[in-house]
Amino acid sequence: MDNPIRTIVIVGGGAAGWITAGLLAAEHNADQAVLAEKPKLNICLIESPDVPIIGVGEGTWPSMRLTLQKIGISETEFLLCCDASFKQGSKFINWRGPVSAQGAATSTASDSYLHPFSLPIAQHELNLCPFWLPHQQDVAFADAVCQQFQLAELGLAPKQIATAEYSFINNYGYHLNAGKFSQLLQQHITGKLGVRYISDHVTAIRNHQNGDIASVCTRDHGDIDGDLFVDCSGVRSMLLGEHLQVPFISQQHVLFNDSALAVQMPYATPEAPIASCTHSTAQSCGWIWDIALPTRRGIGHVYSSAHSSQSAAEQQLRAYLSRDFGAAAADKAEFRQLSIAPGHRALCWKNNCIAIGMAAGFIEPLEASALALVEWSAKTLSNQLPANRAVMDIVAKRVNRAFLQHWAQIIEFLKLHYVLSQRAEHDYWHDHRESSSIPESLLEALQLWRYQVPSAQDISHSDVLFPAASYQYVLYGMGFQTQLSGSQKPSLQRKAQQLFQENRQRIQTLRPLLDDNRTLLQKIRLHGLPTI
């Protein structure tokens, strides 16, 4: 065969590098590992001992369950080794507004909503939105259509101790310790899936005459040759950005946040409840994430440096911390400062190099889509791995098209949260609502949604990250008004009422059957989850 793809070199040992190595090895080499035969693919991962991983990606999507299962990691082992807990969605607090110029809420109504991971009940049979609209004053959209809303609000776990590994009662992803996660992946993937690990610093890159990468040069291990190179080198984007000169497309004019302050806070008592959702609380020039692990909370303030000074952002973060941890602990807290260049590369795949993770792009962590995009990229590479160099450009073209579609949707969906807000205490929020900062496709969709509810027809490509239900949860959680003309058919009305009733019944049935998160995690520590 014309230059078959036999050797894959991954540069970078953060979550992106290890997830890519794990999915490639599980897909292409797992049978050989069992049979102790020579692997079909030689996969080698190089990680610099000098450059630490970014280590802040601590919220995942439900897709992570499939990824871990595919890689062959036991869920019990993962939960215990990575200090992980269950994530059932994101709760948005104080996003809706309005908030006065002095920073006080001008309405007494509770300002929070949930974007849960479970789809609305019977989503594929009937879009329940039109039937919920007449009841919007009485019940929140997510509460009416999804059992997860109330159960997650109560801090109940998404499964029972008798539920098999990776199975669920309510759909879930994880909150995890990012450093421990990369360590577990490394240990499992090198030990069980035969991936070669080289701890060394890549100092240069050599090309073939056609512009393809021939090898990466390391400080202590010489040149490492490959047929395909995966750039997981983090924001530096050493192979795709620096070497192959694929331009970076900034999105800062749409999504302004470019700075973050992060801190880890131990619980005041070991029995403190573990929240089931990432809490995202809006601030005057950004928002604060709050991720609950079994042993600590990871908290951070993402903000726009064009709108806020670092000291003002610090002050708001300390005020947030003092509420739960007391003024003394908040005063003592030391923050890690991170810079974000919001944007992505113009392509993720050029010649024989594909970038995955921060090397391909990153825009602020609202909705925590970065690891989900890593999983999509690694799964796509592994499923569509070109057989040889001759067909690689065809695969690359398709992957690049899907990559840009995903970015367009991520940008649009994140921007939606800001555009719908009525907060008015700072230019930050006004600037977000300036139509010149809003993607054209989002402006059009918002116009349509004034008269029709979001549906699958709004999404033009398959394999989407955010389905129509995500738009519904955010729009109606934020109080968006849709005015439908005409009424619904009586038979559908009856069906919808049945489904609302079924949802309420499921909540009543499940409520006494589910432990809170901490209790379930303690049981898992003692007994493990069944592996079927």
Ligand X SMILES: Cc1cc2nc3c(=O)[nH]c(=O)nc-3n(C[C@H](O)[C@H](O)[C@H](O)COP(=O)(O)OP(=O)(O)OC[C@H]3O[C@@H](n4cnc5c(N)ncnc54)[C@H](O)[C@@H]3O)c2cc1C
Tokens of 397: 């073209």
The helix or strand, by DSSP H or E, that contains position 345, with its residue range, turns out to be strand 343-345
468 binds ligand X, rule: CB under 6 A: no
* Contact range with ligand X by CB under 6 A, out of 65-73, 364-372, 420-428, 472-480: 364-372
Q: What is the smallest separation between the CB atom of 200 and ligand X, expressed in angstroms?
A: 7
348 binds ligand X, rule: CB under 6 A: no
CA distance 297 to 486: 48
Q: Which of residues 32-51 bind ligand X (CB under 6 A)?
A: 46-48, 51
- Is the CB of 58 or the CB of 143 nearer to ligand X? 58
Peptide linkage before 98 cis (omega within 30 of 0): yes
Q: Which of residues 161-180 bind ligand X (CB under 6 A)?
A: 178
Q: Which of residues 50-89 bind ligand X (CB under 6 A)?
A: 51, 53-54, 56-60
Q: How would you list the strands of the sheet with 202-207, edge to edge?
A: 202-207, 213-218, 222-225
Q: Residues for the chain: how many in total?
A: 532
Phi, psi (degrees; rounded to nearest 5) at 181: -65, -50
Neighbours of 31 (CB within 10 A): 10
Distance of CA 130 to the CA centre of its chain: 29
Label residues 277-298 b or e (16+ Cβ within 10 Å = b): bbbbbbbbbbbbbbbbbbeebb
Q: What is the smallest separation between the CB atom of 262 and ligand X, expressed in angstroms?
A: 6
Q: What is the smallest separation between the CB atom of 36 and ligand X, expressed in angstroms?
A: 29
20 binds ligand X, rule: CB under 6 A: no
Candidates 226, 234, 294, 386; binder of ligand X (CB under 6 A) is 234
* Contact range with ligand X by CB under 6 A, out of 15-23, 221-229, 390-398, 417-425: 15-23
233 binds ligand X, rule: CB under 6 A: yes
Phi, psi (degrees; rounded to nearest 5) at 20: -65, -45
Q: What is the smallest separation between the CB atom of 48 and ligand X, expressed in angstroms?
A: 3
Angle at 16 between CA 14 and CA 21, to 5 degrees: 100
Q: What is the smallest separation between the CB atom of 231 and ligand X, expressed in angstroms?
A: 9
Candidates 8, 23, 288, 358; binder of ligand X (CB under 6 A) is 358
Candidates 6, 40, 180, 201; binder of ligand X (CB under 6 A) is 201
Neighbours of 62 (CB within 10 A): 20
The DSSP secondary structure of 217-257, one letter per residue, reads EETTTEEEE-SEEEE--GGG-IIIIIIT-PPEEE-TTTS--
94 binds ligand X, rule: CB under 6 A: no
Candidates 21, 142, 368, 529; binder of ligand X (CB under 6 A) is 368
Q: Which of residues 513-532 bind ligand X (CB under 6 A)?
A: none
Q: What is the smallest separation between the CB atom of 415 and ligand X, expressed in angstroms?
A: 18
Q: Which of residues 255-314 bind ligand X (CB under 6 A)?
A: 260, 300
17 binds ligand X, rule: CB under 6 A: yes
- Is the CB of 114 or the CB of 340 nearer to ligand X? 340
195 binds ligand X, rule: CB under 6 A: no
CB 438 within 8 A of CB 497: no
- Is the CB of 224 or the CB of 496 nearer to ligand X? 224
- Is the CB of 389 or the CB of 406 nearer to ligand X? 406
Closest CA to 185 of 56, 78, 44, 70: 78
Candidates 8, 9, 10, 11; binder of ligand X (CB under 6 A) is 11
CB 70 within 8 A of CB 26: yes
Q: What is the smallest separation between the CB atom of 451 and ligand X, expressed in angstroms?
A: 35
Q: What is the smallest separation between the CB atom of 174 and ligand X, expressed in angstroms?
A: 10
- Is the CB of 113 or the CB of 174 nearer to ligand X? 174
CA distance 116 to 152: 9
- Is the CB of 59 or the CB of 158 nearer to ligand X? 59
* Contact range with ligand X by CB under 6 A, out of 148-156, 222-230, 360-368, 383-391: 360-368
Q: What is the smallest separation between the CB atom of 339 and ligand X, expressed in angstroms?
A: 8
Q: What is the smallest separation between the CB atom of 251 and ligand X, expressed in angstroms?
A: 14
Candidates 14, 89, 226, 386; binder of ligand X (CB under 6 A) is 14
CB 393 within 8 A of CB 377: no
Tokens of 389: 């160099």
Q: What is the smallest separation between the CB atom of 268 and ligand X, expressed in angstroms?
A: 23
Q: What is the 3-state secondary structure (H, E, C) of 462-515?
A: CCCCCCHHHHHHHHHHCCCCCCCCCCCCHHHHHHHHHHHHHHHHHHHHHHHHCC
Q: What is the smallest separation between the CB atom of 306 and ligand X, expressed in angstroms?
A: 17
Q: Which of residues 327-346 bind ligand X (CB under 6 A)?
A: 338, 340
Tokens of 197: 């690990």
CB 265 within 8 A of CB 325: yes
- Is the CB of 194 or the CB of 234 nearer to ligand X? 234
* Contact range with ligand X by CB under 6 A, out of 79-87, 166-174, 230-238, 508-516: 230-238
Closest CA to 90 of 254, 301, 281, 265: 281
Q: Which residue has the tokens 């700075």?
A: 259
Contacting residues toward ligand X, per CB under 6 A: 11-17, 46-48, 51, 53-54, 56-60, 178, 201-202, 232-234, 236, 238, 260, 300, 338, 340, 357-359, 362, 365, 368, 370-371, 374
